[in-house]
Amino acid sequence: MTRPLLIENARIIDPASGTDAKGAVLVENGLISDIALGAPVGVPEDAEVVNANGLILAPGLIDMRVFTGEPGKEYRETLASAGEAAAAGGVTSFVMMPDTSPVVDDGALVDFLIRRAKATSKVNVLPSGAITKGLAGQEITEFGLLQEAGAVCLTDGRHSIQSSALLRTVMSYAANYGMTVIHHVSDQSLTGDGVMNEGLFATILGLKGIPREAETIPLARDLQLAALTGAKYHAAQISCAASVDLMAAAKKRNASITSGISINNLALNENDIGRYRTFFKLGTPLRSEDDRQAVIEGLRSGAIDTIHSDHDPQDTEVKRQPFAEASDGAIGLETLLAAALRLHHSGDVDLMTILRAMTSRPAEILGLSSGRIAKGAPADLILFDLDYPWQVSERDLRSRSRNTSFEGARLAGKVMRTIVGGETVHVHIE
């Protein structure tokens, strides 16, 4: 039995309840047992007391899109190293994509991952189950058995299902179990061998472009199928103005659809690629600044529900290549919060909205009890300094891979303490 933990003198921000007030939180047996706003809370005698000194106390972040190297490519990332990075970044739970080797398309593997994560990771690892066997987009997996084993959602990760008929079956069948289908929207025939956003900049660089329609055409289809089947549908990551419009229009008619966005698409644009910088080569390409402004507005208006890191560790070998030949992906667990806070510091999005997109909204979409500061909820919490200035250096990051899109970036906002299930798993040391 661990000692009770009292965090006092904090600015408590809980998007689930809309709370933003000074107060204290008491943690007992891994759960939040009491919350006191303004008035002091009753403190057990043996409690460990943490004086937050006015730092923000928020629910731990829930990252809905994280790729790991384990199993299969442990040299890129293990559940342990991803857990270290997550804890340092304030992520207390992350949804692990099924794109591993072997693919997580079987209940036994989900079971293994849960046990392995409990043994090695500092944070909660939430396995997803593959929608199709081997992520091949042909045969659907055992949704019910995956759910029984502990899969929190269904997704084919970075793969996109091309067949409308198959996707209809997927959504209909997933609705039996109330499982959220998270789908990466990408029309492969339009994407072709494109490697960045289609436009003038791609033309100047001589690189093949990916038109926005490669995203909006399958998104429009998916939204219609979601309405047809009644599925809980989540567009994994959208990136452009037209997708925001599609989501906003569809949400007026269908309450069970949601969408997410990678922090990369919120914080960066295609010009960051500069002279073929492959750390900016991402599965969903960085779009124009106009698109970035539109997705920021989408986040403000609620057309976009969640922000995730799209953490995708890639080793040097596959990134130090000519742009078109380099692998997609960037790490992001450790920079997620600070990069998102750029939107707050720039005055684009209020703090509550930003935190909601990384706490209570993912929890609602996945049916989790965490993601909120409420009595009886898991004590997954973070204390962070909203204005703490720091510069990202790949040497300091905890991931096994170094492919950060924010290398050298000056950020404001740092996680000072991360608590998972009542246990402190990370403390920032100067």
Q: Is 280 in the site for other proteins (CB under 8 A)?
A: no
Q: How far is the CB of 182 from other proteins (least distance, A)?
A: 30
Q: Is 327 in the site for other proteins (CB under 8 A)?
A: no
Sorted by sequence, the CB contacts under 8 Å of residue 429 that are 6+ apart come out as none
Binding other proteins (rule: CB under 8 A), the pick from 252, 275, 429, 430 is 275
Going by the DSSP 8-state scheme, the letter that residue 323 receives in this structure is G
Supply angle C-alpha 316, 237, 294, rounded to 5.
110
Q: Is 201 in the site for other proteins (CB under 8 A)?
A: yes
Q: How far is the CB of 386 from other proteins (least distance, A)?
A: 37
Residues 161-200 that bind other proteins (CB under 8 A): 198-200
**Identity of the residue, 147 or 288, whose beta carbon is nearer to other proteins in the bound complex:** 288
Going by the DSSP 8-state scheme, the letter that residue 2 receives in this structure is P
How many residues lie near other proteins (CB under 8 A)?
21
**Identity of the residue, 220 or 324, whose beta carbon is nearer to other proteins in the bound complex:** 324
Q: Is 206 in the site for other proteins (CB under 8 A)?
A: yes
What string marks each residue from 224 to 263 as x (binds other proteins by CB under 8 A) or -? ----------------------------------------
Q: What is the DSSP string of 359-411?
A: THHHHHHHT-S-SS--TTSB--EEEEEEEEEEE--GGG--SS---BTTTT-EE
Closest CA to 141 of 162, 163, 165, 166: 166
310 catalytically annotated = yes
Return the sign of the alpha-carbon dihedral for residues 312, 316, 318, 323: positive
Q: Is 408 in the site for other proteins (CB under 8 A)?
A: no
Binding other proteins (rule: CB under 8 A), the pick from 325, 350, 387, 396 is 325
CA distances from 360 to 25, 121, 122, 268, 368 (A): 18, 22, 21, 25, 9
Phi/psi at 34 (nearest 5 deg)? -155, 150
**Identity of the residue, 325 or 396, whose beta carbon is nearer to other proteins in the bound complex:** 325
**Identity of the residue, 173 or 201, whose beta carbon is nearer to other proteins in the bound complex:** 201
**Identity of the residue, 214 or 333, whose beta carbon is nearer to other proteins in the bound complex:** 214
Binding site for other proteins (CB under 8 A): 198-209, 275-276, 317, 320-325
